[in-house]
Structure 1
């Protein structure tokens, strides 16, 4: 496999997970609304599998919630999208340097890769050379073919990003609410504040 691994930056608009998946699967960074609908349909059509204990909220409520473009996706959504596309999704976490693999048990033959910094998802691709246009990106890899080489390159890039501390420690990072300017610490405080006030516009500050 020729080329170098690159991090393709996805816009920060609360839909980065969906747009990152859209990019690695279809070279399209504008799939969020469509993929939110895919997830809502999958969850809504199988209430026995997607119960409140699994979703964290009642099935119907979750389906309405995930269609809101201000809401973020995570593990549940990645597992559903892996099944929808019939490919493994590997999500590399910069802080822990861990790789979470979705769809592995399904024996899919192809894999795509994402990079997570604690708050945001970007896409991994193989580019023929540094600075090559995105249309030359390869984002889908054969699990039984070039994947070992790609994995080692991906891990190296993750380790470099970790060394540079290019991640957000979601347990201890500091945020300010953009609507009422209150200071908050960590994901839990931000989530509690959002629940109590309906405010969802947070900025990180140090």
Structure 2
């Protein structure tokens, strides 16, 4: 398919990683609860591989945590979902334009793509033309013998670099957030996490 790479925006509801994966894998932006359960079941089934050192918390505690719709996913969850769907997941980081490829060592023959702005994941898709409806999106790309997905790869990187030039990412070390519960201002992810742990408040909005 010829066309352009577009960024399909996923709602910001703490489950963007799961819904972005749901969209690129199944054209479904409402998979978060189901995929959280897939991850919890995978982790619970292999406590040796998914030990406390790997997860950052005890196995069962992690399973309870990931089932909470307020909690965000990251690298661990992407690697498990890559295995679950048996496809590579390429996650492009806008701030650095780096691509983290999950499932690479498994040599899967298809790949999907996500874009990450420091806080939020959206889906990347190939669309036949600007403004085409989402049902025309191609989100799954065959991987060739050079481990490439052809022109889509370059187009995705161009989109990521364009977003980087526009500074449409969140510098998580220095961004300013306001707590939506008590209106307290915090700077950076570290302070936000500390505030959340101290107060139980998890509803932050970015402000400048």
Q: Work out whether the TM-score is over 0.5.
A: yes
Segments of 4+ in structure 1 off by > 2 A?
none
1:110-125 correspondence runs (5 A): 110-125=110-125
Using the size of structure 1 for normalisation, the TM-score is 0.98
- Quick one: distance in 2 between partners of 1:178 and 1:30? 24
Q: Which residue pairs with 1:161 in the alignment?
A: 163
Q: Which residue pairs with 2:30 in the alignment?
A: 30
Deviations 1:137-170 (A, max 9, x none): 0000011087121110000001100000000000
- Quick one: distance in 1 between partners of 2:71 and 2:24? 21
Q: Which residue pairs with 1:172 in the alignment?
A: 174
Deviations 1:34-56 (A, max 9, x none): 00000000001110111111111
Q: Which residue pairs with 1:107 in the alignment?
A: 107
Using the size of structure 2 for normalisation, the TM-score is 0.97
**How many residue pairs get matched?**
206
Work out which of the residue numbers 174, 191, 199 in structure 1 matches 2:201: 199
Shift of residue 5 of structure 1? 0.6
- Quick one: distance in 2 between partners of 1:192 and 1:56? 16
1:1-206 correspondence runs (5 A): 1-144=1-144, 147-206=149-208
RMSD: 0.9
Q: Indicate the larger mover: 195-204 or 76-85.
A: 195-204
Any stretches of 5+ residues in structure 1 without a counterpart? none
Any stretches of 5+ residues in structure 2 without a counterpart? none
Task: Give the secondary structure class of the aligned counterpart of 2:63.
Answer: helix
- Quick one: distance in 1 between partners of 2:130 and 2:17? 25
Task: Give the secondary structure class of the aligned counterpart of 1:41.
Answer: helix
- Quick one: distance in 2 between partners of 1:98 and 1:118? 12
Shift of residue 197 of structure 1? 1.2
Shift of residue 195 of structure 1? 1.2
Q: Indicate the larger mover: 178-187 or 10-19.
A: 178-187
